Structure 1
Amino acid sequence: MSKPVEHYLCGKFISEGNWSHMRRSMPVHEIILMLEGEMYIAEDEEKYVVRAHDLLFLKAGHTHYGYRVSDAPVSFYWIHYGAAPGVFSSFPTHSSIQVPSMANQLFKQLLHVCSFSPEEADAAALLLLKELERNLQTDYRPHSAVVDHICKWVDIHLHTNMTVNQIAEQFNFNKDYISKMVKREKGVGLKAYILTERMRRAKQLLLNTNASVKEIAAQCGFNDYKLFLRTFKQHEGNTPTEYRNHLYSTQLNRL
């Protein structure tokens, strides 16, 4: 397959009790994140008891079946996916994750976007699997994969008048939580990060294009031209025109 990960199906399973997993063998992998109860499941001849916050990785082409009925309520997230050879091949079959809340959020995000388009579902599945892989490592940094994804999204949408609330809604996080998460990784909150990236983009455009300052303001997400001028001067210490002229002067002096 050309993509590292391809999402097929995902969902949240809930049973009130008196349930066991069906017997089947699938051509795709399955990952289960246990939320509640105990599930008694086997892969071929190996039996597992899966409890809350446990992760179960079931390989494609193997037979999976419940070997005992779960009397109490059971709930878990699940995803069926395909992966290129060697991609996410190091997952242990049965493990406990260190920060289940992060995995929960990413599963919720996947469930939210999976009906939008295959591309968005694949991207959300890849993000989820990367985070689960990091979660199982000894040097785990729980927020890094998610923050990387958020920052890439911000970079793509710098031309829009995005807000922290909109980004939080996009990623299905609380706005305070998402800002704190970015601050842990980047040293500044999400609002400050967006502004810093807008200024970085503005400086790149001033240096590398002949676009007018007004056009650059719009390309950096500023609908208010005067606000852009004030913000740029506060951030950089001079106006956009002064910044551009200074750079041109410096380049000429170096010739």
Structure 2
Amino acid sequence: MYYCSKNFKGDSHFISAGIFMSKDSWIHSSRIIDSYEIICGIEGTLPMEVDNEFFEIEAGQMMIIPPGVPHKGFKQTQGTIRFLWFHFSLDTVQSLDQQEAQQLLTDDFCPNQLLLLPNYHDKLNMNRLYLMINQLLDLYQDQVVPPYIDAYLNSILYEITHQTMQLLKSSLLENDTLQPIQDWIRIHAFEKISLQSIANHFNYNKNYLSRKYKNETGIGITMQITKHRIDQAKLLLAESNLSIEEIAAYVGYDDAKYFMRTFRKFENMTPTQYRFTFNKRHFNKV
């Protein structure tokens, strides 16, 4: 299911946000709230029952709970659990199923005013969303004026809408030969992979695959790998205490200096400077 507005004018309003953490067994309380809540899994599995549907939210997955809907944990968590959450209000939206959401791609309306939020998804670029939500948390901790934090909240909702529309477009392609390759690159990006090794794995000529991939996605394979690595590095810089050298190795770079040059080329700042932008957090702990 999707929550949709075809006349969205950036009029959502931020309420609260935080990071929940627990190393012990825990279960989400039963409640009904009067706002929307977005939950993004970071670590562990969060079992949730939402309006009599059962979900297990893991790292890299996102759920949206609408207002007025009963929800609760349906069993105790196991091991460490960690997730980002934030609440916001939103004017009236309509619920769409998958087919109705795909129909938006052919409808005659202004896409600049579209808001489309999936109630659950496991294929969004969560590294990008993690970073944006972390910046939202920093603004919340800094107690910035409401119009400022509302504007940033809206940018997150627009980002979710953009990614959702891109995924819907991909699902409409009857013979999307690149999707398995894109998935494989995403999964193996931190390993020692290259255009040649990917071409060999999928039995393509290297030059043909390079042209096809760039023509259909707008980005080269080598750049795609680098983008995945930098996105993960940004997340580790914001969320961990790993050293720059350890992060470089984690995302697939043997040479930390080369990693730092590449990072600066992408982000216009050093990894250390980037890390210093994330110095405040609102944690919930049990």
Normalised by the length of structure 1, the TM-score is 0.53
Checking the alignment, whether the CA contact within 8 Å between 2:115 and 2:158 is kept in structure 1 is no
Gaps of 5+ in 1: 142-171, 182-188, 191-255
**Contact 2:38–2:86 (CA under 8 A) maintained in structure 1:** yes
Evaluate the alpha carbon distance shift between residue 39 and residue 125 of structure 1 in structure 2; reply closer, same or farther with a 3 A threshold.
same
- Out of 95-104 and 24-33, give the one that drifted further: 95-104
CA, structure 1 residues 38+85, in 2 after alignment: closer, same or farther (shift >3 Å)?
A: same
C-alpha distance after superposition, 1:28-87 (max 9, x if no partner): 000001000001101121111111110001011101100100021110110100112238
SS in 2 for 1:35: strand
Tell me by how many angstroms 1:117 deviates.
1.7
Could you tell me which residue of structure 1 aligns to residue 11 of structure 2? 4
Q: Which residue of 1 aligns with 2:266?
A: 180
Q: Residue 92 of structure 1 aligns with which residue? A: 118
- CA distance in 2 between partners of 1:57 and 1:178 (Å): 34
Q: What is the percentage of aligned positions where both structures have the same residue?
A: 19
Aligned residues: 153
1:127 to 131, 155, 158: 155
8 Å Cα contact 1:17/1:71 also seen in 2: yes
- Cross-structure match for 2:139: 113
Q: Secondary structure at the match of 1:102?
A: helix
Q: In 2 relative to 1, CA 178–105 (structure 1 residues): closer, same or farther, beyond 3 Å?
A: farther
Residue 102 (structure 1) aligns with? 128
- Unaligned regions of 5+ residues in structure 2, if any? 1-7, 95-113, 171-216, 218-237, 239-259, 270-286
1:71 and 1:27 mapped to 2: Cα distance?
29
- Is the Cα–Cα contact under 8 Å of residues 116 and 160 in structure 2 kept in the other structure? no
Rounded Cα–Cα distance in structure 2 between residues aligned with 1:63 and 1:18: 22
**8 Å contact kept, 1:2–1:84:** no
Residue matched to 2:29: 22
Per-residue displacement from partner, 1:172-195 (whole Å, max 9, x unpaired)? 8x99758626xxxxxxx79xxxxx
Q: Distance in 1 between matches of 2:41 and 2:31?
A: 19
7-16 or 127-136, larger mean C-alpha shift? 127-136
Q: Which residue of 1 aligns with 2:194?
A: none
Larger RCO, structure (CA 8 Å, separation 6 or more): 2
**Residues 194-222 of structure 1: CA distance to partner in whole angstroms, max 9, x if unpaired?**
xxxxxxxxxxxxxxxxxxxxxxxxxxxxx
Please give the alpha-carbon distance, in whole angstroms, between the structure 1 residues aligned to 2:72 and 2:261. Answer: 41
Using the size of structure 2 for normalisation, the TM-score is 0.48
**Corresponding residue number in structure 1 for 2:53:** 46
Choose 1 or 2 for highest CA Rg: 1
CA RMSD of aligned residues (A): 3.0
